[in-house]
């Protein structure tokens, strides 16, 4: 498989803006492990091999266990996630699969129980951001496999 194009080189301003969102989210107060679980779950749903490779590796480097990672696509049937994580994963799925119907009041109430208004706003932005990255990576056919854990951390930290 070969990449079609490199959007970061072709449109560096757009890549910089996307990295700005990531930087904001890392400083938002939401747990980094939660943000990465959201990233991995949305990437699984979207079939983004590059992002699955990246977020799996970052989670493992943070000390996340194999059991929780392997069970992520079956989180509803697995006892390995907190209620807060479950609410975030349900919100992630509802927003990522938006063409299946708008986010229900039931899902909203579940997530609101575990997240205050700012956290919910940030959680929503996290889902929007990873869906954007997924679409960029899928469209450009970013090739998975070479990513090293934390590889983009320096780039994210440089964003003003």
Q: Residue 159 above 60 pLDDT?
A: no
DSSP string, 71-133: TGGGGGG-TTS-HHHHHHHHHHHHHHTGGG-PPPHHHHHHHHHHS-HHHHHHHHHHHHHHHHH
* Domain at 14, CATH number: 1.20.1290.10
2 domain-assigned = no
1 domain-assigned = no
Structural domain count, the chain: 1
> Per-residue pLDDT tens for 87-121?
999 999 999 999 988 999 999 999 999 999 999 99
Query: Minimal CA–CA distance to 130: which of 41, 15, 3?
Result: 41
C-alpha 80/C-alpha 94 separation (Å) is 20
pLDDT of residue 89: 98
143 domain-assigned = yes
Q: Residue 157 above 90 pLDDT?
A: no
The model's pTM: 0.92
pLDDT band at 158 (very low <50, low <70, confident <90, very high): low
> Per-residue pLDDT tens for 112-147?
999 999 999 999 999 999 999 999 999 999 999 999
DSSP designation for 143: P
Do residues 67 and 115 touch, judged by C-beta distance below 8 A?
A: no
Give the domain extent around 66: 7-158
């Amino acid at each position: 498989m070969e990449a079609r194009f490199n959007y970061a080189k072709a449109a560096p301003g757009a890549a910089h803006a996307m990295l700005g969102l990531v930087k904001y989210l890392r400083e938002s107060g939401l747990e980094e492990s939660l943000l990465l679980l959201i990233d991995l779950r949305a990437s699984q749903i979207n079939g983004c091999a590059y992002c699955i490779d990246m977020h799996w590796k970052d989670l493992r480097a943070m000390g996340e266990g194999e059991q929780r990672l392997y069970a992520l696509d079956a989180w509803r049937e697995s006892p390995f996630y907190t209620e807060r994580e479950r609410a975030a994963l349900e919100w992630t799925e509802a927003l990522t699969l938006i063409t299946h119907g708008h986010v229900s009041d039931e899902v909203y109430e579940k997530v609101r129980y575990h997240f205050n208004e700012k956290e919910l706003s940030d959680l929503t932005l996290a889902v929007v951001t990873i869906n954007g990255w997924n679409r960029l990576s899928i469209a450009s056919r970013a090739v998975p496999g070479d990513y090293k854990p934390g590889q983009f951390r320096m780039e994210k930290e440089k964003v003003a």
